[in-house]
Chain A
Amino acid sequence: MKPTEGLLKTRLTADTIFKIFAAAVASSILLILGAMVFELYNQSKLSIDAFGLPFLWGTVWDPAISQVFGALPLIYGTIVTSLLALLFGVPLSLGTAIVVSELSPQRLRTPVSFIVELLAAIPSVIFGLWAIFTLAPFLRDNVYPILQAGLGVLPIFQGSIYGLGVLTGGVILAIMIIPTVSAVSRDVLAAVPDSQREAALALGATKWEATMTVMSYGRSGIIGSIILGLGRAVGETMAITMVIGNRFDIFTSLFEPGYTMAAIIANEFTEATTDLYLSAIIEVGLILFVVAMAINVLARLIVWRSLRMVRGAVLE
């Protein structure tokens, strides 16, 4: 009796140790995030103390003489390029998701989604390379002149066309968010129970109307996928740095060069000559951290809840 008890006890202890060990290792993810917040705040302290909140709406970035820094043009550039990315990327992603999940024959689904998701496997720097030498010249010669001729009355389409600039940045970001948005919304659509489609079709709906029923059933998940795409666009660095032109300015025309938060970090971090300059760049990183965190947390919560709700409904 006694030896068995002893054995049982060691066994329980070993199990407890294993569990605690695994929990400790798994917690490293939280530790990393925590350390990230701490380090970013700590290193941008110099800039936070020097400029305070007005850093967010300051429009001067002068590392050479006055050492004054403000982030508004960066925030503005990030918002504009990300919105452009959603404007171009979301319709294409949703169309793709609809084809894959609702229209294509079963045996084509896997290959088609494989091809679309191959886009996600391409490194950002290769998107940038392609954008500089293939996409930008193409848009400059074939698309932008037509856009300017047709819509040139709008201030956003005026001025000279360089090829590299805000609009091209928006286009490359759009291409880069497609795999994220289309894969997640495809999963959401695929999780909608067939009874929804069948009910719509049985009521005499056309295939399109049935698809709309399915879309509205999964709409919160689709919104989540779009926000995930927004998160990707906001944080994207290499490709945007290579095409946006990197000019610190509040632009009006989308053909002009601009700058984003991620791009200035990539571009000027290693050239920062003074502590305050480096600190200002890290503060931009802190803002990016907060924004990306908020976007991703929101998107994840929405996608998780929606997938659980939709799948829960299947079980009922």
Chain B
Amino acid sequence: MSKGHTPSTETRRPDRAALVIAVFLAALGGLIFWDASRLASMGGYSGIGPATIPFVIAGGLLVLAVWTVFEALRGDFPARDRQEFGPVVWIVGGLAAQMLLLKILGFSIATGLLFAATAAAFGKRKLWMTIPIGIALCLAVWLVFAGLLQLSLPAGPLEHLFW
């Protein structure tokens, strides 16, 4: 990762994305500050209670936000690789599908869909093939982990056929 010390016309422009990060850090700091300020001050003997450290962290985040703005304006953030968003959408979609379907359809089907979506993100788009492979693999994993190692993995219609 190279730093922006070598002056080029591109890195010297204010970095919008980095400014967004600064806003995020400031918002996070503000949120912690707001949450901590509703805590009762129970300093006890130490003079510092449950709210003290959150205040310090919130303050730290605000300082870091200002520092980020400073570096963003100077263009000190490293150059970024171009990101392709198609694959990202596939994987995030797969994870979301697994999250929502886990309780209803059980571990194997939900995770099989995640498996197929991830494979699709890396270029294997033949879903009619990858989904069954994923479900079969996840069922095998379920049988080993839930059956033999007694991990509590949610069962669905498919798992009930076997267990």
To the question of whether A and B form a pair in one complex, the answer is no
